[in-house]
Chain A
């Protein structure tokens, strides 16, 4: 049972508390969402959960293993993958190479074997390439394999990041606003992708503003406000919580929220 446990997590930047005293659990196999208005600390939280930021206080542990303060590549090695809100695609590579890079941890490539291009390496590269092709197909980017990443449209790049994150066979996948900048059709496709991933056994954590997507796909929602936990629970629970409704869905939506 893989569990990501966060206790008393805080992060401050020179006096500004981006995240304060957060404690929660992410349980295996479910789709979790983290919502909250801009500035609520969602991306900061994601950066903390992937080792990009070091917490000011608190602990992060995966299956009981303490990951607090570890460098980001150690979080990745523990089985956590992520995408970025502001696309961190490797623009100097093709789509296929981007996904193959995502598989770095599974490759175990020593310096000597790289320099000498040993037969084992050649075989491993072949397998890596096949796996990457399959993943591109999975996210619907099969035709882009050899395309240079800097020639691809925005929607494709968002899916490419997901493919790259999946290449490392993560147990836990953190998606930072995967639907940002996408039209309703594309957002629906992202939702389907997330559901497919969850069915395949990947735990998905979603940071999102798109409420239709969030409500449609989440098993569990965590609501943040000013870096603190406001509430958490099922989609139903959160939809009807008056504090949440007031803070994010707007006071005017109270009636609609109650009927949803």
Chain B
């Protein structure tokens, strides 16, 4: 039994310093990301590799936002592909049918999705756990069915084509240009996310993840905070969806499907919960893996399913935090 004074004396032995390793994720980590984005083209041999890199970037944008919702705030969404799909189709429809300039179409459809997420968010986020999972799943599937059925607007199951992307009249074409556009968007997205995490709102999210009661008792309006992060993650998804539509020149309802939502969640949990850079790693690995497996396409589902199960059983916090813990525990 010790008194306060004795406790203080042994503090330095018992206390584990918080992630001194990563210095400041906001500055150090972001710098590393910028370096990676800038230097990757050196290893991209041809257009196909650029294409994969761009896909990684687009998925990463969604995952960073989704990680805010799942990893930091502790909620879940099995329907985020719905927001992605709405962003994609919204941009495509505005640009092709209504002649809206592509960039404006992108912004407008993202804003529309933000509004939808805000309206739907409050009732949905009153639910917890499995019920929340099912509600978001239901929402996502309804969106994908509507997209697939309204074929006069959306081209139905066969999809629709998307006009080329221009920003203030300047055309964005070609893998290389798109790589820099997506890369820049990714860096900005990560910067925004890291800012949010290290702000009082970020602490509020982490607080309500651990103990919603204690968060409420210090004055955090948990319902409002949950809706906020839900909207932010929906915005990232919709924006990435719009970019994907313009990049591919073509979209299909599969982009809003339940399977796509599952893939996105898997990327987040595989890479690491409550780790923005984990989300990036997850997006990278689980985008490249299916590409690498195209050779043995029949095994894709088996491998994906196995990866999901093994990761969650043995590394429930995701690979990046688990590796981080392991590195920290090694004797120095």
Contacts and interface: CB of A to CB of B under 8 A. Distances in A.
A117 B199 contact: yes
A147 interface: yes
B167 interface: no
Interface string A128-159: 10000000000010011011100111011000
A101 B15 CA distance: 21
A93 interface: yes
A73 to B, nearest CB: 5
Interface in B201-250: 201-204, 206-207, 209-211, 213-222, 228, 232
Nearest to B229: A111
A255 to B, nearest CB: 31
Contacts of B4: 140, 155, 185-186, 189
A248 B136 CA distance: 52
A103 B218 CA distance: 7
A159 B196 CA distance: 28
A55 interface: no
A94 B17 CA distance: 9
Contacts of B199: 109, 113-114, 117, 121, 125
Contacts of A165: 218
A183 B4 CA distance: 11
B150 interface: no
Contacts of B217: 50-52, 72-73, 75-76, 81-82, 88
Residue of B1, B15, B216, B222 with most chain A CB atoms under a 10 A cut-off: B15
B28 to A, nearest CB: 16
A252 interface: no
Contacts of B203: 93, 97, 100-101, 104
Given A81-B217, A90-B207, A125 B200 contact: yes
Interface residues on A, range: 35 or more
Contacts of B192: 115-116
Contact of B213 (A52, A125, A167): A52
A113 to B, nearest CB: 8
Contact of B210 (A76, A82, A92): A92
A79 to B, nearest CB: 10
Nearest to A52: B213
A90 B16 contact: no
A224 B203 CA distance: 37
A259 B184 CA distance: 79
Interface residues of B, number: 40
A71 B207 contact: no
B3 interface: yes
A146 B15 CA distance: 9
A89 B217 CA distance: 12
A25 B192 CA distance: 48
Contacts of A124: 200
B195 interface: yes
B200 A143 contact: no
Nearest to B26: A117
Residue of B8, B11, B202, B218 with most chain A CB atoms under a 10 A cut-off: B218
Nearest to B197: A114
A90 B211 contact: yes
B216 A104 contact: no
Contacts of A76: 216-219
B204 A147 contact: no
Interface in B173-203: 192, 195-196, 198-203
B12 interface: yes
Interface of B: 1, 3-4, 7-8, 11-12, 14-18, 192, 195-196, 198-204, 206-207, 209-211, 213-222, 228, 232, 274
Top 6 nearest A-B pairs by Cβ distance?
A: A76-B219, A88-B214, A114-B199, A72-B216, A105-B219, A147-B15
Given A73-B217, A153-B7, 15 more contacts: A77-B219, A89-B211, A90-B211, A92-B210, A93-B203, A101-B218, A104-B203, A109-B200, A111-B201, A147-B16, A148-B15, A148-B18, A168-B218, A183-B1, A189-B4
